[in-house]
Structure 1
C-alpha cells in the first residue's frame, strides 16, 4: 500500500539520519520539528508575550504557519513527514526566532485577536490588548445597545486592530482611528482594507486629540504608550523590536494618559465613556488623579488593567 511505503520512507530517512547528525536530516515529522523548536526556545531563554505564552505554543504556531497548515489543528499533522525543502524553511524561522529575538508575529507578518487576523510588521506593536476581551463582553451597563452607538474613537490605533474590532462590535458606528505615526497608519490602512472597512474606519494622523477639532464620540477607547522609563530600561529584547513611540510613556508611564484624561471631555458626548488600558499602572494612575473615581474593568484573564471614566466625571479642558 502507498501508505505503508510512505512510512517506510520515513524510517529510511531516520536510518540515514543516524549517520548525518544534522537537524535537517534528523527532524522528519511535524512532531520532531515542534519538539526541536520548543527545546531551542527554552534553551535560549526567549520571552513570550506577543500572542503566545510559552515555548511550546510558539513552536506549534511557527511550525504550522511556515508549513501553511491551519494553526488551530495540530493533531492531524503531528506525524506527517516533511520534505527537505519545507524542513529548511521551518529550521530557518526557528533559528531566526532564537538568534535575532524577533517576535513570532514579525516573522509571520500576522497577529491574532480571537478569530481576527491582522497584518503586522516592525512599524507597529504586536496586537495584544486586554480591551479585546472587554469589547467582546460589551461595556454594559454604560453602553446598553451596541447597535445604537454612532461615533467611536480608537486613540493610538497602531495596526488598526481595535478600530476594526470596534467596527464589528458597533455595527452602525463610524469609527475614527488616530495615531501620531505615519508608519503605523500605513499598516492600519492595509488592515482596514483587508476587512473592507474603508467607508467605516477613518484613519487620522493626530497627536492625541490635536487634529480632531470639535468631534465628539460616545466611546473613546485607547491602548496608549504606558511603559515607565524604568521598565523600558529592562524590557526583553523582543519588546525592543517594537516601536519605542508605541511603548514609552515617560518617567511614570503617564505622559499620554494625562493628556487623554485632560482632553477627553471635549470629545465625549454627555453620556459618553472613556476606556483606557494602562497595564500594571493602576497605582500610578490613581496617584496622578486622586480626585477621580476610576472604574477598573476585569475580564476572564486579566483584572484591573483597563479603566473607565464617564464624561460627567471629566471637566472640559
Structure 2
C-alpha cells in the first residue's frame, strides 16, 4: 500500500500538542491496541517520546514537565511519518519504532518476529515462584522468536545457561541481535530447531515456551495490526494446540528430574480439556493481567503418557 508524504497542521508545536493530535487520529481511525499499550493516550505518548528520543521509562513527573516544550521541525516530520504509518497502514507501533518492551527491558523488533506481549514476563520476574525450589542451571526457551523470553530468563537467573530455540532462521537473526545488545553471547545460545528436533541429548531444569497457539476461529477474526506479524508464529491448527501436543509428548525426554515446563496457550486454553483429557495441569495465577499459561512437571507428564499409552 502506497501512502502520501505526511503533512501536519502548523499549530502543532509542543510535545503535548502532538500527543493530543495523535490521540485524535487514533480515535478517528479506530485502530486496535494490544502491542505494548491498551489505550490511545499511552500509544500516543509512546510514539511521541520515542520520536523525540526521550526514554519511555522516564518518571511521570518529568514527562509532564516537558509537555509544553517545543519540538524541532525534524522531530515533527518523523512524528507525522510514524503517525501516518500507524493510522493508514495500521502497523503496530513497535514495528515502526523497532522497539518493544518485555519484562522491563527494551528489545529490537521487526516484522520477522512477533511483538513480545506475553504474561510469561510476570512469572520470570517472580522467579517462577512457587514452582521452582532451586535456581535452574539449564533453561530452554522453545519458540524463542526475537529472544526476549530467553534474555529475560538469563537476566533473572544469571548463573544459568539458556538455549533459545526456534525453527525460523530469520527470527533467530533478530534474537542474535538482542543477545548481542545485552552482551549475553556466553549465556544465551540461539539454536535452529524444529521444536526439540535439534536438541538431541540436552536436558533442562526449566522449559518455557510461548509457541504459536491461535486457533482457526481467532485467526479469522484478528484485527489488521496482527496481519503485520508472521502468520506462522501465530497459527497452530484448528484448535491452536497442534504444536503444544508435540511439545507435551516430547518434553519429558529433555527435562531433568523435577523439571518444570511452562507453556502459554492463550485463548486456546478452552480446548485443552478435550485435547488432553485427564492431564493434570496447573494454571498460573497472574496479578498483572493475562491468562492461559500452564505449568507441569516432568513426572506428571511421564505418568500421563504412560497411562494413556
Query: If the TM-score is normalised by the length of the shorter chain, which range does it land in?
Result: over 0.9
Counterpart for residue 27 of structure 2: 42
Question: 1:282 deviation in Å?
Answer: 1.8
2:260 counterpart of 1:278 = no
Counterpart for residue 62 of structure 1: 47
| Runs of 5+ consecutive residues of structure 1 not aligned to the other structure | 1-21
Counterpart for residue 306 of structure 1: 293
Give the distance between the partners of 1:283 and 1:100, measured in 2 at CA: 32
> For structure 1, which segment, 75-84 or 61-70, has the greater mean C-alpha deviation from structure 2 after superposition?
75-84
Aligned residues: 294
Question: 1:227 deviation in Å?
Answer: 0.3
TM-score (norm 1): 0.90
Paired residues for 1:26-105 under 5 Å: 26-73=11-58, 74-105=63-94
Question: 1:303 deviation in Å?
Answer: 5.4
2:281 counterpart of 1:294 = yes
- SS of the residue 1:102 aligns to: coil
Give the distance between the partners of 1:177 and 1:123, measured in 2 at CA: 16
TM-score (norm 2): 0.92
Counterpart for residue 18 of structure 1: none
2:209 counterpart of 1:222 = yes
Counterpart for residue 157 of structure 1: 144
- SS of the residue 1:314 aligns to: helix
2:157 counterpart of 1:167 = no
2:119 counterpart of 1:130 = yes
Contact kept? 1:113, 1:128, Cα under 8 Å: yes
Counterpart for residue 118 of structure 1: 107
Task: Report Cα offsets for 1:99-143 as digits up to 9, x if no partner.
Answer: 111100000001012431100000000011110011111223331
Paired residues for 1:153-232 under 5 Å: 153-232=140-219
Counterpart for residue 252 of structure 1: 239
Give the distance between the partners of 2:150 and 2:72, measured in 1 at CA: 41
Structure 1 residue runs of 4+, over 4 Å off? Answer: none
Question: 1:196 deviation in Å?
Answer: 0.6
Give the distance between the partners of 2:159 and 2:104, measured in 1 at CA: 21
Task: Report Cα offsets for 1:188-223 as digits up to 9, x if no partner.
Answer: 000001111111111111111111112110111000
Contact kept? 1:298, 1:305, Cα under 8 Å: no
